[in-house]
Amino acid sequence: MSSTQAPTQAAPKPAREGLGGRVVAAALGLFDAPMAWLQRALGLGAMPYAFLAPNVLFFGVFVFLPIAINLVYAVTGGVNIYPSQRPFVGADHFRALGDCASFLDPATCREDHFWRGVRNTLVFTFFQMIAMVGSALVTALVLNRRIVARGFFRAVFFFPVLLSPVVVALIWKWILQRDGLLNAALVAAGGEKILFLVEPTWAMAWAIFVSVWAHMGFYTLILLAGLQAIPADIYEAAEMDGTPPTRVFWRLTLPLLWPNLVVVLVLVLIRGVQTFDEVFVLTGGGPGTATLMVVQYIYETAFANPVQNFGLAGAASILLGALLFALTMLQLALARGKSKEARA
């Protein structure tokens, strides 16, 4: 270092260059005065709460308040929408939902549609989970290989996730309905029309398929991220160790992908229980009640039936909410267990 060299001055503030920089600086400067005023008014200690307040307010109005109102509706009766004019009925709605001669046969229940919805939701969620996790895993494994046009295929599989559920359901409705594309193709090939959305088993199968098609890309993405986080040299070490490909999958890939797989499993489970829009647009819950889900039952009980039974719908919502809460806790527990193990 030469002593004749002038020490460089540390700039007090990063100077904003150019017109864009000056505009941004001026815009940010607009907040200086009100913020200074707020800080004087509240004191420095209260400022974090001032910053949190807008979000808490929105969260309260749109999440906590509805939950509280829902509770009120669940324990009050009548058709009046004003809580003050609804008589208190206690656990009557819950008793009505649970009034069954046999829980295995929805027809013996007072609220048979609720129990059909529960059964359909369980069937839907179970098969959808198997199909979703299986196909997302296979897709992720394929997309993780060095295949031609990998980027293109990744986009193709993710694309349905970007579509609105209603759009997805409408597209498939046009394909699957009596005079839809698929039947046109069947007839052209010399076959007979199949009533995909009218036969109960077909309708449920297609509801599951459409749901898998629409959401698989999202779960594929999670699994793909997990696969890419596995260091390549571990596979090279396995190759040097003379490991057969099936053993590489079961002993290395699957265990190392497990944390991501747990996330996917639980998310699929939670979203399966919440299913409504796609199936509702595709089949309307039909034929009959073959694809009626719990959420659709709640919606119809509260808003679509001639008699709007807010109380019963509220009680069903609370039961559904409790189930989702339990599933979320399960996910948290599994995720924590895994991260603890990873740190060990």
Considering beta carbons, is residue 251 or 336 the nearer one to other proteins?
251
Helices marked H in 75-192: 92-97, 112-143, 150-158, 165-176, 181-188
- The verdict on 244 binding other proteins (CB under 8 A) reads yes
Closest CA to 293 of 116, 29, 110, 55: 116
Closest CA to 198 of 181, 171, 176, 213: 176
How far is Cα 242 from Cα 115, in angstroms, rounded to an integer? 54
CB 298 within 8 A of CB 313: yes
- The verdict on 242 binding other proteins (CB under 8 A) reads yes
Considering beta carbons, is residue 243 or 328 the nearer one to other proteins?
243
Instruction: Figure out which of the listed residues 61, 68, 138, 237 binds other proteins, where binding follows CB under 8 A.
Output: 237
- The verdict on 233 binding other proteins (CB under 8 A) reads yes
The least CB distance from residue 247 to other proteins, in Å, is 7
How far is Cα 107 from Cα 89, in angstroms, rounded to an integer? 25
- The verdict on 60 binding other proteins (CB under 8 A) reads no
Q: Which residue's entry shows tokens 């001026």? A: 26
Stretch that binds other proteins, among 59-67, 101-109, 162-170, 234-242 (CB under 8 A): 234-242
The least CB distance from residue 254 to other proteins, in Å, is 10
Considering beta carbons, is residue 238 or 319 the nearer one to other proteins?
238
- The verdict on 243 binding other proteins (CB under 8 A) reads yes
CB 273 within 8 A of CB 323: yes
What's at 215, amino acid-wise?
H
> Segment 136-195, which members bind other proteins (CB under 8 A)?
none
- The verdict on 343 binding other proteins (CB under 8 A) reads yes
What's at 342, amino acid-wise?
A
How far is Cα 99 from Cα 161, in angstroms, rounded to an integer? 40
Tell me, by CB under 8 A, how many residues bind other proteins: 20
Stretch that binds other proteins, among 29-37, 78-86, 240-248, 307-315 (CB under 8 A): 240-248
Three-state DSSP state, 126: helix
CB 111 within 8 A of CB 239: no
Write the interaction track for other proteins spanning residues 253-292; mark x where CB under 8 A is met and - where it is not. Answer: --xx------------------------------------
Q: What is the CA radius of gyration of the chain?
A: 28
Stretch that binds other proteins, among 62-70, 122-130, 229-237, 270-278 (CB under 8 A): 229-237
- The verdict on 344 binding other proteins (CB under 8 A) reads yes
- The verdict on 334 binding other proteins (CB under 8 A) reads no
Considering beta carbons, is residue 166 or 229 the nearer one to other proteins?
229
- The verdict on 2 binding other proteins (CB under 8 A) reads no
How far is Cα 226 from Cα 260, in angstroms, rounded to an integer? 6
The least CB distance from residue 264 to other proteins, in Å, is 18
CB 288 within 8 A of CB 107: no
- The verdict on 335 binding other proteins (CB under 8 A) reads no
The least CB distance from residue 255 to other proteins, in Å, is 5
The least CB distance from residue 138 to other proteins, in Å, is 22
- The verdict on 17 binding other proteins (CB under 8 A) reads no
Burial class (CB in 10 A: 0-12, 13-18, 19+), 270: middle
CA distances, 99 to each of 71, 77, 293 (Å): 20, 17, 19
How far is Cα 171 from Cα 176, in angstroms, rounded to an integer? 9
| Binding site residues, other proteins, CB under 8 A | 231, 233-234, 236-244, 247, 251-252, 255-256, 342-344
